[in-house]
Structure formats: structure tokens, C-alpha cells
Homo-oligomer: A and B are copies of this chain.
Amino acid sequence: MLARARARYLLLMEASHSTFKQDGGASASRTFTEAARRAQIVGAAIEVIAESGYAKASFTRIAKQAGLSSTGMISYHFSGKDDLMREVVGEVLRVADAYMRPRIEAQATASGRLRAYIESNIALLKEFPNHLPAMVEVFGNLRGEDPSLREFAAAMEAVVDLQVERMREAQEAGEFGEFDPRVMVMAIRGAIDGLVTRAAKDPRIDPDVCGRELADLFERATRKADR
């Protein structure tokens, strides 16, 4: 039990089960075709956001990308733009969780999990080239105006706090060197996000190489000094 808890201690979306659960927990009350349409629209939104950016991701563009005849269709399936964006993030987190979690939990050491976290996160770029860029766009443009989005942002904050706590534990266990764990978490997140953003535009970037390099980088940065 303890082992399993520690095994996933760096997973980005650890806290997501309560907040970002599939369809926000309302999936039971949705028809099959309704769920399919929502998924289709969310997919189109991810493509548009990744390609054209958050600002240009209007309902009109998303509807066109999804092959829908009108924007009314989107408003019919989502209660508003915030709702759609929440679902976009939820979809990305679900995909990322499914991909990253087993790879992280397979590692036995803290540094192994850190490497798995970084490499599997960036490896997602090959499997789902639009998912992470879209999420970075959405988060970059979210302000805490709407109450529902405020709760959303708070959940993401909680994830960061958890990661910081896990990293501190690894330090105390002697697996990492001395450093401010919060700054380290922010640096990792920022480095990954920056790389994701660039990779979305620059096809020359090879995710495999970059992932490994980035993992090496942060392994050196977290290593104990005397080694």
C-alpha cells in the first residue's frame, strides 16, 4: 500500500480522479450518441487549439473542424465555452494518466520515477501530438473568473502541492540532493511545457531525444552532491 502510494508520487494527475473524472461524473445520464458527439467536439477543439491557439479557437472554427453545421450544436452539447474547455483539459488529463501512470509506477526509485514522468510526458507528443499543446494553451489563457474554473485551477494547484510533498519526502529519504522542491517542480513543469509548445510548431524536434535529454538534465539537477 505504501509502496504503491509512493510509486505514483510524481504523477501529474494524481488528484484528478475526483475533479476530472470522465465527463465530470455525469456520464451515466448521457446517451451513447451524446457522449460520442461530445468526444467528437472535444477532439476538434483540441486540434483547433493546438493548431491555431486558444484565442482563435472560436466555436465557429471548432464546429467547422468537427464537421458540424452550426455553432449552436456545440452550445447544445456543452453549457458554454468554459464547459468545453474543462472537458478538453479533462480529456488530456485522462489520456496522459492512462499513458504515464503505468510507466511511472513501474519504477522503484525516486529518480527512476522522475525520469519516467518526464520521458513519458514528452513521449505523449508522438502518440497525441495535439493533446499537450492544447492543454498548455488552455491553462495559459485561463483566468480565475468563472467560479467553476476557479475550482478547476485550485485542483491543479493541489496536484502541484502533492508533487512538491512527494519530492520533499524523496529528499528526506536521501534519494535526492538539497534544493527547494517547489522551485524544482515548477522548473520541471515549465521546461516540459516550453518544450511541448515548441514541439507543436517545430517538426525538427524529436520527442524521444528531447525527453531523454530533459530527464538527464533534471537527474543531474536533483542528484545528491557527493555522487
Chain A interfacial positions (CB closer than 8 Å to B) = 52-56, 137, 140-141, 143, 177, 179-180, 183-184, 186-195, 197-198, 209-210, 213-214, 216-218, 220-221, 223
Nearest Cβ in chain B — how far from A71, in angstroms? 11
Count this chain's copies in the assembly. Answer: 4
Q: List 22 A-B contacts (CB under 8 A).
A: A54-B55, A55-B55, A55-B141, A56-B143, A137-B140, A140-B140, A179-B216, A179-B217, A180-B209, A180-B210, A183-B217, A184-B213, A188-B191, A189-B194, A190-B190, A190-B192, A190-B193, A190-B197, A193-B194, A218-B221, A220-B221, A221-B221
The 5 closest A-B pairs by CB, nearest first: A190-B194, A187-B191, A183-B213, A190-B191, A190-B190
Docked Cα-Cα span, A221 to B192, in Å, equals 15
Determine the chain B residues whose CB is within 8 A of the CB of A140 once the complex forms: 137, 140-141, 197
Q: Is B54 a contact partner of A141 (Cβ separation < 8 A)?
A: yes
Q: Is B190 a contact partner of A195 (Cβ separation < 8 A)?
A: yes
Docked Cα-Cα span, A191 to B221, in Å, equals 13
Nearest Cβ in chain B — how far from A59, in angstroms? 14
Q: Is B143 a contact partner of A214 (Cβ separation < 8 A)?
A: no
Determine the chain B residues whose CB is within 8 A of the CB of A180 once the complex forms: 209-210, 213
Docked Cα-Cα span, A192 to B209, in Å, equals 22
Q: Is B198 a contact partner of A194 (Cβ separation < 8 A)?
A: no
Determine the chain B residues whose CB is within 8 A of the CB of A137 once the complex forms: 140
Q: Is A195 a contact partner of B217 (Cβ separation < 8 A)?
A: no
Determine the chain B residues whose CB is within 8 A of the CB of A192 once the complex forms: 190
Docked Cα-Cα span, A213 to B183, in Å, equals 7
